[in-house]
Amino acid sequence: MASEKNKVLWAYIAADLLFLIMGVVMIGFAVVVQNEIKAEPTDGEQAARNLLYSRFPLTAGIINAIFFFVTFVTTIPAIATHSRGWLKISAGFVAVTSTISLVLGLYIWILTLKTKNDFIDLWKAQTPQIQDLMQTTFTCCGYFNSSSPAFVTNPTCPSPAAAAIMRGCAIPIASFANIFVDDIFTAIFGMTGVGGVLTLATACLYKDRKERERFAYIDRKNGNLGGATF
């Protein structure tokens, strides 16, 4: 029975550490992105990424990461003691943290559905130099087309006549954004999945401890002072 107990506990610990790693990844991503946004882009893809990042709920992501860490702290007494109460508390924190992650993932996913139309405001707010970078990288002129809004003159779009036969930047940027953002919200949904794994591991450990308490009670009642091992 001790061996079986160790398997359940170690499975819980493994899920718990994986949950902690998800928190580290989330806060690391948010901090790196916040610093990257401040950097001057050197090409069109970096410029587009920075504009996409500006729409991300980075502060909410950091708060979510803090919940990951707080949740991990509540699991420490659940591991170190035989208390089922701490397991209940940690399970509550896992549920809250995973729900926040799910909401963030859905929010970013919804952004991908509106990238083409919403990005126009970001495009208009950029300097001609940033628009130039994106036109060059994505081989396009203007946003919807060369006149809406008006293109920036550069080697890709040297004249109105040349720009008129080029595609607008909306479609290539939207395609780039959707592929890029898909990976991010998929990763966030994966974090929610890890929360589900930890919830399942918590339920297994809770059930295991409850059964052991029952067996210990029966042993004590039968005069076996050793009881069961938790």
H or E element in which residue 5 lies? helix 2-38
Q: What is the pLDDT of residues 45-75, one digit of tens each?
A: 999 999 999 999 999 999 999 999 999 999 9
- CA–CA gap between residue 25 and residue 21 (Å, rounded): 6
- φ, ψ for residue 175 (rounded to 5)? -65, -45
- Residue linked to tokens 């209940």: 88
- CA–CA gap between residue 155 and residue 117 (Å, rounded): 26
**Cα–Cα distances in Å, from 185 out to 26, 188, 191?**
12, 5, 10
- What is the SS3 assignment for 41? coil
Mean pLDDT, rounded, for 201-206: 92
- What is the SS3 assignment for 147? strand
- Whether the predicted model's global pTM rises above the 0.75 cut: yes
Tokens of 117: 């139309």
Dmax over Cα atoms in the chain, in whole Å?
A: 97
pLDDT score of 229: 45
Q: What is the pLDDT of residues 124-152, one digit of tens each?
A: 999 999 999 999 999 999 999 999 899 99
The strand ranges marked E within the chain are none
- What is the SS3 assignment for 145? strand
Q: What is the pLDDT of residues 7-43, one digit of tens each?
A: 889 999 999 999 999 999 999 999 999 999 988 999 9
**Cα–Cα distances in Å, from 12 out to 75, 87, 156?**
10, 11, 57
- Residue linked to tokens 């450990």: 205
Of residues 155 and 219, more confidently modeled: 155
- What is the SS3 assignment for 81? coil
From 11-20, 86-95, 101-110, 207-216, the region with the lowest mean pLDDT = 207-216
Residue 163 burial (CB count, 10 A): 23
**Three-state secondary structure readout of 108-136:** HHHHHHCHHHHHHHHHHCCCHHHHHHHHH
Please, which pLDDT band fits residue 226 given cuts at 50, 70 and 90?
Answer: very low
Mean pLDDT, rounded, for 195-199: 95
Mean pLDDT, rounded, for 150-175: 94
Domain boundaries defined on the chain? 2-125+181-221
